[in-house]
């Protein structure tokens, strides 16, 4: 009996083992590798902007012997998935990124190709882009990325109707902002400034601008470079006290941490006239065009961030997402083809296509085509803003290493809701890893 019972047992165990093995084999399946014959793989964040990327790839393939293949990773997990494949055979040749801290770990791991050689052969790869944007993908003095989508500066949006009803103008200086907030509160606007504090990063935008205006971009650069004392400097303390004053006057109302930008909470506040201002990335404009078209036409206004008297920062400086970039992996087998591909990123065709889907490219020839954009006036305002900016500060959470982002967001939120005072905030920022 024992002998006969042995067989089915072994068979079952064997089957189970085989199943397990075949499952684990899925991970190393036969998806196309980066270096196969005459192809370069281009990996981008999957969303509606892929339309243009497809067009550019098709354009490139018309003339090139080495064919480009566009791969997309949809959804918000782009960075995680990229990090997983970048050091494997499935790594792409060229990939989408946010510059700054998002590519730093890859540079540190020696995976990325500095673009200096490409630029030496064709200086257009640098000179055709706005310098403030191009510099956001410079790591340790070397360029690692070419801008490949639209720029997204942070802009102070307003609801013109609310301002008109209260009889005030959009503020040009910080003191005017405080006055306007007070007037609005007196007139019964409980949330003069809409803030999606639940998302945390919208709160960060206020820090970025106030620090830049008060201390100039140098303070943050120093801090990012490892000089922790920068956070404890007099300028830093001044910026914090100004932010604190704004929060304490009730400018953001009382429930901003329960409001989110991402579920349209803060956007709706502005559109419905329950708030007069929102500080947000340039994408807010197209969002209103989609969700609140009437408001976008009649009520939505936008200005630069107010100046701060006595501040060291140039009032023309901007902060936000400079652009997205294409970076190149060292192990690519077709560097010449990649260089040719990157050159398309300042072609007229590329610029027109990006403007057509509402993105604002950051090439020097963009200006020529601004009239063809979906909303020319807004595009011109943005382009001027970015072009004239001596410095374009990349969002802090993207400039710092990724391991710092959560602790930074926590400190930002806690300072606004009063759980941290200035000293506590300074300590929290000093504790962030900088490399």
Two tokens, residue 5: 């019972």
CA angle 68, 359, 171 (to 5 degrees): 155
Binding track, positions 204-243, relative to other proteins; x by CB under 8 A:
----------------------------------------
Q: Rounded to whole angstroms, how far apart are CA atoms 334 and 182?
A: 61
Q: Are 237 and 422 in contact (CB under 8 A)?
A: yes
Selection from 34, 63, 36, 46 nearest residue 341 by Cα? 63
Measured at the CA of 100, the angle between CA 99 and CA 105, to 5 degrees, comes to 100
| Of 200, 213, 238, 334, the one binding other proteins by CB under 8 A | 200
Told to check if 123 binds other proteins by CB under 8 A, we report no
Do 283 and 378 touch, CB atoms closer than 8 A? no
Q: How many residues contact other proteins, by CB under 8 A? A: 54
Grouping H, G, I as helix, E, B as strand and the rest as coil, residue 74 is strand
76 in contact with other proteins (CB under 8 A) = no
Least distance between other proteins and beta carbon 278 (Å): 13
| Site residues (CB under 8 A) for other proteins, limited to 244-303 | 253-260, 263, 265, 268-269, 274
Q: Considering the rule CB under 8 A, would residue 196 count as an interface residue with other proteins?
A: no
Nearest approach in angstroms of CB 385 to other proteins is 30
Q: How far apart are CA 337 and CA 28, in angstroms?
A: 28
Give the nearer residue to other proteins in terms of CB position, either 255 or 365: 255
Residue number, 149 or 200, with CB nearest to other proteins: 200
- Give yes or no for residue 12 binding other proteins (CB under 8 A): yes
How far is it, in rounded angstroms, from Cα 103 to Cα 362? Answer: 20
Q: Is 202 in the site for other proteins (CB under 8 A)?
A: no
Nearer to other proteins, 198 or 299 (CB): 198
Asked if residue 106 binds other proteins (CB under 8 A), the reply is: yes
- Residues 167 and 101: their CA atoms lie apart, in Å, by 44
According to CB under 8 A, which one of 72, 83, 233, 287 is a site residue for other proteins? 83
Which residues, listed in sequence order, are joined to residue 193 by a DSSP beta bridge? 277
Q: How far is CA 362 from the centre of its chain?
A: 14
Site membership for other proteins, residue 192 (CB under 8 A): no
Query: Closest distance between other proteins and the C-beta of residue 79, in Å?
Result: 9
Among 40, 43, 94, 405, which residue interacts with other proteins (rule: CB under 8 A)? 405
Rg (CA), the chain: 25
CA distances from 51 to 71, 78, 342, 359 (A): 12, 18, 17, 12
Residue pair 326/94 in contact (Cβ under 8 Å)? The answer is: yes
| Binding residue for other proteins, selected from 159, 191, 307, 323, defined by CB under 8 A | 191
Q: Which stretch binds other proteins (CB under 8 A): 54-62, 151-159, 290-298, 398-406?
A: 398-406
Minimal distance, residue 88 CB to other proteins, in Å: 10
Residue from 9, 26, 31, 167 binding other proteins (CB under 8 A)? 9
Question: Under a CB-based contact definition with an 8 Å cutoff, are residues 140 and 104 in contact?
Answer: no
The minimum distance between CB 423 and other proteins, in angstroms, equals 16
Which range in 136-144, 197-205, 371-379, 380-388 contacts other proteins by CB under 8 A?
197-205
Dmax (CA) of the chain = 97
CA-CA distance, 344 to 357, in Å (whole number)? 17
Nearer of residues 207 and 305 to other proteins, judged by Cβ: 207
404 lies in the binding site for other proteins (CB under 8 A)? yes
- Phi, psi for residue 155 in degrees, rounded to 5: -130, 145
Q: Which of residues 34-63 bind other proteins (CB under 8 A)?
A: none
Closest to other proteins by CB, 215 or 329: 329
Which residue's structure tokens are 């400018």?
251
Cβ neighbours for 228, distance < 8 A, ≥ 6 positions apart: 430
Residue 155's nearest CA partner among 47, 270, 58, 13 is 270
Per CB under 8 A, which region of 171-179, 191-199, 213-221, 340-348 contacts other proteins? Answer: 191-199
Q: Do 161 and 271 contact (CB within 8 A), yes or no?
A: no
Main-chain phi, psi angles of 306, to 5 degrees: -55, 150
User: Cα separation of 315 and 109, whole Å?
Assistant: 37
Residue 431 as a binder of other proteins (CB under 8 A): the answer is: no
403 binds other proteins (CB under 8 A): yes
Nearer to other proteins, 194 or 355 (CB): 194
Kindly indicate which of the ranges 18-26, 64-72, 226-234, 357-365 contains the residues binding other proteins, using the contact rule CB under 8 A.
18-26
Query: Which residues contact other proteins (rule: CB under 8 A)?
Result: 1, 4-5, 8-13, 15-17, 19-20, 23-24, 80, 83-84, 86-87, 105-106, 109, 111, 191, 197-200, 253-260, 263, 265, 268-269, 274, 402-406, 410, 413-414, 417, 419-420
């Amino acid at each position: 009996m024992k002998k006969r019972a042995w067989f089915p047992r072994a068979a079952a165990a064997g089957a189970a083992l085989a199943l397990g093995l075949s499952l684990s084999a899925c991970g190393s399946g036969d998806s196309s590798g980066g270096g196969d014959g005459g192809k370069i793989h281009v990996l981008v964040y999957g969303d509606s902007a892929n339309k243009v990327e497809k067009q550019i790839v098709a354009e490139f393939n018309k003339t090139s012997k080495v064919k480009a293949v566009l791969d997309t990773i949809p959804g918000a997990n782009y960075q995680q998935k990229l990090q997983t494949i970048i050091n494997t055979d499935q790594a792409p040749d060229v990939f989408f990124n946010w510059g700054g801290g998002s590519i730093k770990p890859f540079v540190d791991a020696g995976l990325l190709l500095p673009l200096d050689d490409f630029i030496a052969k064709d200086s257009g790869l640098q000179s055709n882009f706005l310098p403030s944007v191009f510099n956001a993908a410079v790591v340790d003095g070397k360029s690692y990325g070419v801008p490949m989508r639209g720029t997204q500066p942070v802009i102070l949006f307003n609801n013109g109707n609310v301002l008109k009803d209260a009889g005030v103008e959009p503020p040009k200086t910080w003191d005017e902002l405080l006055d306007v907030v007070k007037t609005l509160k007196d007139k019964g606007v409980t949330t003069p400034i809409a803030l999606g504090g639940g998302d945390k990063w919208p709160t960060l935008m206020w820090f970025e601008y106030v620090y830049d205006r008060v201390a100039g971009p140098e303070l943050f650069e120093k801090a990012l470079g490892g000089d922790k004392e920068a956070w404890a400097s007099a300028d830093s303390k001044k910026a914090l006290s100004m932010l604190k004053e704004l929060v304490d006057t009730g400018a953001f109302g009382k429930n901003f941490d329960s409001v989110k930008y991402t579920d349209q909470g803060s956007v709706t506040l502005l559109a419905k006239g329950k708030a007069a201002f929102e500080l947000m990335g340039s994408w807010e404009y197209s969002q209103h065009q989609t969700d609140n078209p009437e408001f976008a036409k009649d009520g939505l206004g936008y200005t630069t961030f107010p100046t701060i008297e006595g501040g060291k920062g140039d009032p023309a400086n901007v902060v936000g997402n400079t652009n997205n970039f294409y970076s190149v992996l060292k192990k690519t087998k077709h560097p010449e083809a990649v260089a040719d591909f990157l050159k398309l990123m300042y072609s007229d065709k590329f610029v027109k296509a990006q403007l057509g889907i509402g993105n604002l490219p950051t090439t020097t020839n963009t200006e020529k085509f601004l009239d063809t954009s979906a909303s020319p006036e807004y595009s011109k305002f943005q382009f001027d803003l970015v072009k004239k900016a001596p410095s374009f500060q990349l969002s802090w959470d993207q400039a710092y290493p990724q391991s710092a982002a959560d602790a930074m967001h926590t400190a930002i939120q806690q300072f606004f809701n009063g759980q941290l005072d200035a000293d506590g905030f300074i300590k929290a920022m000093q504790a962030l890893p900088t490399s």
